[in-house]
Amino acid sequence: MIKGIHRWCSTFTGGYTYYKDAIVLDMNSFNKILAIDEKKKEVTVEAGATISAIQQAIAKKGLAMKVSQSLLFFSVGGSLSVNGHGRDIRHGSMASTVSKMTVITPTGELKTLEKNNKAQHEQMKTILGGYGLFGVIVEVTFELVDDEVY
């Protein structure tokens, strides 16, 4: 267990996140912003990247996430695996802005899934909010919007 994280998570989430002898994946070192495509308005990141790191990187390009967590220290993989907060009346949930993701399936296969492929999109919807039971999120591509002041 990561030193100090159990106490923080137990307090923050009500204590239901860890079980005796459970497996906890620490994806914090998978935290890179891999690519920002200004033309397509997309960003590709590793699962351990925080919302804050993404926002800082894309803001330099005049872009913003379509939908974001309100607390910026959450990781992408954690946020998406629990289908965490982040809703926007125009764009839906944060998970709905994922155009592509790479996962490790329960059988150990590294698989890339794309939203525009109907069969893969159905599998994506199972993984997004699946708490890691149907695949571990490794990499994600998000759709972006122009960064505008309202």
> Which CATH number fits the domain that encloses residue 121?
3.30.465.10
Q: Determine whether 70 is exposed, middle or buried from the number of CB atoms within 10 Å of its CB (0-12, 13-18, 19+).
A: exposed
Number of domains in the chain: 1
Pull the structure tokens for residue 107. Answer: 């059988």
pLDDT of residue 11: 39
Q: Which of 30-44, 61-75, 80-94 has the highest mean pLDDT?
A: 30-44
pLDDT of residue 81: 86
Q: What is the pTM of this model?
A: 0.82
Residue 80 lies in a domain: yes
Rg (CA), the chain: 15
Q: Count Cβ atoms below 10 Å from residue 59 Cβ, excluding itself.
A: 12
> What is the C-alpha to C-alpha distance for residues 96 and 62, in angstroms, rounded to an integer?
21
Range of the structural domain that residue 37 is part of: 27-146
pLDDT at 142 over 60: yes
Residue 2 lies in a domain: no
Give yes or no for a contact between 144 and 58, defined as CB atoms under 8 angstroms apart.
yes
pLDDT of residue 136: 92
Residue 114 lies in a domain: yes
In order of 55, 103, 112, 115, 122, the CA distances from 118 in angstroms are 29, 17, 13, 7, 6
Residue 17 lies in a domain: no
Between residues 84 and 87, the one the model is more confident about? 84
Residue 34 lies in a domain: yes
Q: What is the mean pLDDT of residues 111-127?
A: 93
pLDDT of residue 2: 43
Q: Label the pairing between strands 63-65 and 42-46.
A: unpaired
Q: What is the mean pLDDT of residues 29-43?
A: 96
Banded model confidence at residue 36, pLDDT cuts 50, 70, 90 = very high
Residue 10 lies in a domain: no
pLDDT of residue 83: 80
- Closest by Cα among 7, 19, 20, 45 to 131: 19
> What is the 8-class DSSP label of residue 27?
-
pLDDT at 143 over 70: yes
Residue 52 lies in a domain: yes
pLDDT of residue 116: 94
